[in-house]
Amino acid sequence: DLQGPKIRLGTLTGGPRELKEGERIRLVLGETSQTPNEIPIPHPEIFQAIKQKHALLIDDGKVRLRLLKRADTYADAEVVVGGEIKDRKGVNMPDTLLPMSAITPKDRKDLDAAMALGVDWVALSFVQRPEDIAEVKKIVAGRAGVLAKIEKPKALTSLDRILELSDALMVARGDLGVELPLESVPGVQKQITRAARKAGKPVVVATQMLESMIQSSTPTRAEVSDVATAVYDGADAVMLSAESAAGAHPVESVTVMDRIARKVESDVLYQSMIDAQRNPPEATTADAIMAAVHEVTQTINAKAIICWTKSGSTALRAARERAHAPILAITPSIDTARRLALVWGLHCLTSDEVSNLDEMVDQATAFAEREGFAQSGERVVITGGVPLGVTGTTNMLRVARLGAK
């Protein structure tokens, strides 16, 4: 998870200061201010981009300013919501598209280290524009998946293009809840989730999902509903943060989240809601095959779908269909298998390349039985591409019965 550019105040002359509603204050470019009446911000990009009436939020939105006028090295603002400000507190600018890269020099070093370690996914913070994703993708060069954290309102205006360039999205509700009105966050969460579902790309919902379990051994009822709602909406993953990283009950937090997800997915209403979200297939062979896989699986009550995939695209398409059966993704690439572990419904395995269709079917049924997804006499649906081992050739569907000769 790359840190991204974090905008902060400089050092306040005279220490912490209480701002009163209606007060007019001056923001100045620099690490420190000359007088106690000035607030230093060491980021010239702010003074280049901020415009009259734009909001400037300090300390996670506890203090809110509205810009009155600006120059190259200072800006005058009115205090809309007062409060105490201190050195190095964070600054958010929900109305302003800042002319700065989403990757800092520190991020570049961290990214190089992550690539050397062989990480499976890289999360990019504070994405504003599609160009932010393109920059990281160029550095990563296919060695990891790139996940765009949607936490700035400006990203929503280019969501389709950001989604097109990304390998996955995250609904990062922490900063979204600072820069957007709190009551807007649930709707934005659904907007992002549905866009990712339509594109067939993984989407993660994160931040404060079981926040009370940092201290408490049980969640609030509202938190249980929050996690369940994300699952009902079709999220591929729900994520814990401080609950497992620094909380008093990390194991219990994971256990509770797992129980909620399993309970939702066993609900008849869940499957009907997921089915209602399905999008018509695009006019491609691969999409047509996957739509057929979904229908065949439902019709014959197949116990599993088995995808032979090299790049992972076949398994991603299968997951987008949200069929009523688990999906085994079999790939010769351990990197692909690990990356696909993020995706809804996928159970990932590695195997050597197969040389013919009979071998593909034999191995698929053997894997399904070995992994406990089907028993002798039960049917599975197998899909892949011919010629075998060639990326992007999904064009085959086959039904097989375990134990049949």
Question: Does pLDDT of 392 surpass 80?
Answer: no
List all residues 6 or more positions away from 180 whose beta carbon is below 8 Å from its beta carbon. 94, 153, 188
The set of residues, in sequence order, having a beta carbon less than 8 Å from that of 55 and lying 6+ positions away, is: 64, 65, 66, 67, 80, 93, 94, 95
- CA-wise closest residue to 36 among 51, 49, 26: 26
From 210, 123, 132, select the one nearest 171 (Cα to Cα).
123
Handedness of CA 220, 223, 229, 234 (dihedral sign): negative
Does residue 245 surpass a pLDDT of 80? yes
Strand, coil or helix: what is 152? coil
Model confidence at 353, pLDDT cuts 50, 70, 90, reads confident
All CATH 2.40.33.10 domain ranges in the chain, comma separated? 17-92
- HSE of 47, CA atoms in CB hemisphere, 13 A: 17
Predicted confidence (pLDDT) at residue 389 exceeds the cutoff of 80: no
Evaluate if residue 405 carries a pLDDT over 70.
Answer: no
C-alpha to C-alpha distance for 257 and 239, rounded to whole angstroms:
9
In the prediction, which pLDDT does 230 show?
A: 98
Task: Please report the beta strands in 275-404, taking only residues with DSSP state E, as ranges in sequence order.
Answer: 305-308, 327-331, 346-350, 379-385, 394-401
* 256 φ/ψ angles, rounded to the nearest 5 degrees: -65, -45
The predicted structure's pLDDT at residue 103? 93
pLDDT given at position 148: 98
pLDDT of the residue at 282 = 87
Q: What percent of the chain has pLDDT over 70?
A: 100
User: How far, in Å, are 85, 350, 379 from residue 403 at the CA level?
Assistant: 71, 22, 10
Written as six digits, the tokens of 139 are: 């550095």
User: Among the CATH numbers 3.40.50.360, 3.90.79.10, 3.90.1170.50, 2.40.33.10, which is that of 17-92?
Assistant: 2.40.33.10
* Token pair for 200: 């067939």
Q: Which CATH superfamily is domain 285-401 in?
A: Pyruvate kinase, C-terminal domain (3.40.1380.20)
Give the strands of the sheet with 38-41, arranged side by side: 38-41, 24-29, 74-81, 63-70, 55-58, 91-92
List pLDDT tens digits, range 137-170.
999 999 999 999 999 999 999 999 999 999 999 9
Q: How far is CA 315 from CA 144, 256, 262, 323, in A?
A: 17, 28, 21, 12
Is the C-alpha dihedral spanning 138, 139, 142, 144 positive or negative? negative
Q: Calculate what percentage of the chain has a pLDDT beyond 90.
A: 88
Using pLDDT thresholds of 50, 70 and 90, give the confidence band for residue 40.
Answer: very high
Domain(s) labelled CATH 3.40.1380.20 in the chain stretch across 285-401
Q: What is the dihedral of CA 320, 321, 326, 329, to 10 degrees?
A: -50
In this prediction, residue 388 carries a pLDDT of: 80
Residue 210 dihedral angles phi and psi, to the nearest 5°: -130, 45
**pLDDT band for position 41 (50/70/90)?**
very high
Average pLDDT estimate for 301-306: 97
Query: How far apart, in Å, are the Cα atoms of 162 and each of 139, 184, 193, 196?
Result: 17, 20, 13, 10
- The 10s digit of each residue's pLDDT in 192-241 is 999 999 999 999 999 999 999 999 999 999 999 999 999 999 999 999 99
pLDDT at residue 380, rounded to an integer: 98
More confident position, 79 or 36: 79
- What residue spans in the chain does CATH classification 3.20.20.60 cover? 105-272
Q: How far apart are CA 208 and CA 204, in angstroms?
A: 13
What architecture is domain 105-272?
Answer: Alpha-Beta Barrel (3.20)
pLDDT at site 390: 79
Please list the residues that pair with 171 across neighbouring strands.
Answer: 150, 205
Report the mean per-residue pLDDT for the chain.
94
What own/partner pairs with CB < 8 Å and gap ≥ 24 does 212-219 have?
Answer: 213/243, 213/247, 213/249, 213/252, 213/253, 213/256, 214/242, 214/243, 214/246, 214/247, 214/248, 214/249, 215/247, 215/248, 216/249, 217/248, 217/249, 217/252, 218/252, 218/256, 219/256
| pTM for the structure as a whole | 0.90
Task: Tell me what the mean pLDDT of segment 261-273 comes to.
Answer: 95
- Quick: pLDDT tens for 306-341: 999 999 999 999 999 999 899 999 999 999 999 999
Local structure of 390: helix, strand or coil? coil
